[in-house]
């Protein structure tokens, strides 16, 4: 049952929604919320992870970004699936594209791991709570694989 008019629009909970997939890449055994989004001009997929302290991006994606589209914040360390990675925190815009309603652009803080020579990043990209998800309103309808989003009211 669609109730878009009840929750999407001016002065409503959400300004738009997008359809998500429930697996990342070829992985099918674990159900996830995987959103399509834009980091700068690059279309990528990322797993919603409310337990992640920051968004985490594959370093190869960040290398493709224009230097003017990202700001270095500081060095940091993160425990990612039991492995401590050193890396950089950067700030850049992440855009959630709306299938219906308005796109939403969030100034996000992202952890970018520094890989060792020859190391390949084989983990998903993640959308973390701090630095991204806490800056927007969101809801999930798992019956229709719909991710609703909007700005937090001032």
The C-alpha atoms of residue 146 and residue 20 are separated, in whole angstroms, by 6
Secondary structure of residue 20 in the 3-state scheme: coil
Lowest mean pLDDT among 37-41, 57-61, 69-73: 69-73
* Whether pLDDT at 98 is above 90: yes
What is the spatial distance between Cα 10 and Cα 28, in angstroms, rounded to a whole number? 37
Taking residues 71-75, report their average pLDDT.
79
pLDDT at 22 over 90: no
Residue 76 and residue 52 in contact, taking contact as beta carbons nearer than 8 Å: no
Note the pLDDT of residue 119. Answer: 85
φ and ψ of 69, to 5 deg: -95, 5
pLDDT at 87: 92
Superfamily covering domain 17-151: Acid Proteases (2.40.70.10)
Q: How confident is the model at residue 1 (pLDDT cuts 50, 70, 90)?
A: very low
pTM for this model (two decimals): 0.82
The pLDDT score that the predictor gives to residue 154 is 56
Per the prediction, the chain carries an average pLDDT of 84
Residue 59 has φ and ψ, to the nearest 5°, of -55, -30
């Amino acid at each position: 049952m669609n109730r878009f008019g009840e929750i999407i629009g001016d002065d409503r909970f959400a300004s738009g929604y997008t359809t998500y997939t429930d697996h990342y890449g070829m992985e099918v055994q674990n159900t996830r919320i995987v959103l399509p989004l834009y980091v700068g001009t690059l279309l990528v997929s990322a797993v919603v992870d409310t337990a992640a302290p920051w968004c985490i991006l594959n370093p190869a994606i960040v290398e493709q970004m224009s230097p003017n589209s990202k700001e270095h914040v500081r060095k940091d360390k993160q425990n990612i699936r039991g492995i401590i990675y050193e890396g950089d925190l950067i700030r850049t815009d992440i855009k959630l594209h709306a299938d219906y309603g308005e796109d939403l652009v969030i100034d996000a803080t992202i952890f970018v791991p520094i890989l060792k020579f020859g190391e390949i990043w084989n983990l998903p990209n993640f959308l973390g709570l701090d630095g991204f998800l806490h800056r927007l309103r969101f809801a999930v309808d798992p019956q229709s694989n719909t991710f609703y989003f909007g700005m937090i009211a001032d």
